[in-house]
Structure 1
Amino acid sequence: MKELTLETLIAVFQEIFGSALFWAMVVVAIMITLAFIFVLIRDRSIEGRYLARAELSAPIGGIAAILFVQYMTNSGFSDIGGPIDLIVLLMTGVAGAGGLTFLAYVVQAFTRRRGEER
């Protein structure tokens, strides 16, 4: 592999997760992102208390993402061999933390009671 392209990344992720699971994760990520954008447009701002509560879920999302990838790849933490492995592990954690934070924010925004102050 001489160059890193989007097609190469998609092929690698499909090999790791399987085609159905990979595309299901892509669809879910797009849906969460669109829901977040909808909430931002609807509310015209980011609600501080929702964001503060949503950020509490970030460590859970980061750890869950790392453990999920470790399980899917049949590897463990002892298999981390070099700097790129550590970078991928950290980026996986950041992606999981961000994803669960967005999801928690959207869920709070959609489930708020009618008439609740903004």
Structure 2
Amino acid sequence: MKYLTFGTLIAVFEEIFGRALFWVMVVAAVVVTVAYLYVLIRDRAMSMRKFLWAQVSMSFGAMAAVLFVQLMTHSHFRDIGGPIDVIVLLGVAAMGAVGAAILV
């Protein structure tokens, strides 16, 4: 893999998660994002109570995302080999936290 392209990333994610699961996750992410934007436009303001619950849910979303990726890749935490693995896991955790906050 000499160049990192969008097509290469899609192929890698389809290989990791399976074609069906990957596209179901993409569709779910789009649906949740559109629903969030709808609620934000409908309410015309952010509720601080909802914002607090979203922040509380972020840690659970981060843990769930990391565990989900570990389960899908059939790897363990003992397989972490270097700094790039830690960076990838932190990125997965960050995306899981943001996803949980948007979902809540």
Q: What's the TM-score once normalised by structure 2's chain length?
A: 0.96
Give the residue type in structure 2 aligned to 1:35. A
Distance, in Å, in 2 between the alignment partners of 1:99 and 1:36 is 11
Distance, in Å, in 2 between the alignment partners of 1:89 and 1:73 is 12
Equivalence map 1:16-55=2 (5 Å): 16-55=16-55
Distance, in Å, in 2 between the alignment partners of 1:8 and 1:80 is 23
Structure 2 counterpart of 1:72: 72
Runs of 4+ in 1 over 2 A off after TM superposition: none
Range with greater deviation from structure 2 (48-57 or 10-19): 48-57
Distance, in Å, in 1 between the alignment partners of 2:100 and 2:17 is 19
Instruction: Please state how far the C-alpha of 1:84 moved relative to its aligned partner.
Output: 1.1
Structure in which a larger fraction of residues adopt helix? 2
Give the residue type in structure 2 aligned to 1:55. Q
Instruction: Please state how far the C-alpha of 1:45 moved relative to its aligned partner.
Output: 1.9
Instruction: Please state how far the C-alpha of 1:55 moved relative to its aligned partner.
Output: 1.1
Structure 2 counterpart of 1:57: 57
Q: Say how many residue pairs are matched.
A: 104
Give the residue type in structure 2 aligned to 1:85. D
Distance, in Å, in 2 between the alignment partners of 1:6 and 1:65 is 22
Q: Percent identity?
A: 57
Distance, in Å, in 2 between the alignment partners of 1:12 and 1:99 is 21
Distance, in Å, in 1 between the alignment partners of 2:86 and 2:6 is 21
Structure 2: gaps spanning 5 or more residues: none
Matched, 1:5 2:5: yes
**1:16-69 alpha-carbon deviations (Å, 9 max, x no partner):** 000000000000000000001111111112211101112111111100100010
